[in-house]
Amino acid sequence: DGLLAKTRGEQSPLVSAAYLGYPNVVAALLTSSIVKDHINDADEMGLTPWIAANFSMRQSLWTCNPAIFSDPFRFVPMMVTQPYYLANPTPPYQRTRELLERAGAAADIKAAKALWIKVCKNQTSETKAIVSAATDFQSTVQELGAADLTGMMAKLHEQAQAAQKKP
């Protein structure tokens, strides 16, 4: 009974695991026929497990919402998890997407793009155009996220060096 979202605004365990890029948890959940029967269930925003995996949010949140850089309580926890996503021999979000697709999840890139555009209200117009034109949504948002994170880290490094030079 606890394997499905029951109340409005609640995410199912499958959506949560896909959103976080935890393929081992996704694989375990997909052993349940109940979960498989509801693999394409969407929440009230339209988020399905497949879309959640493609958002790669732990790698792309700063692209979706650049304001996260000014909130250390959100940015730091995201930053310290990056080795899991970047140094893992099998990229977690890619593996998660593959598991979902093999289990019958509907691969709806059009819905994923539309939801990204709707949810990511603070993204730049350039980012919006790149996402809209993407043929591989997941790779695109991951690449944008990596570029934005690298740019912000360089900016923070420059600020730290400038602060050290001040008497």
**Percent of the residues in the chain that have a pLDDT greater than 90, as a whole number:** 75
Whether residue 19 is predicted with pLDDT greater than 90 in this model: the reply is yes
- Per-residue pLDDT, 9: 66
* Mean pLDDT to the nearest integer, 44-50: 93
pLDDT in tens, 121-163: 999 999 999 999 999 999 999 999 999 999 988 998 898 888 8
Question: What is the C-alpha separation between 91 and 82, in angstroms, rounded?
Answer: 11
Question: What is the C-alpha separation between 96 and 12, in angstroms, rounded?
Answer: 15
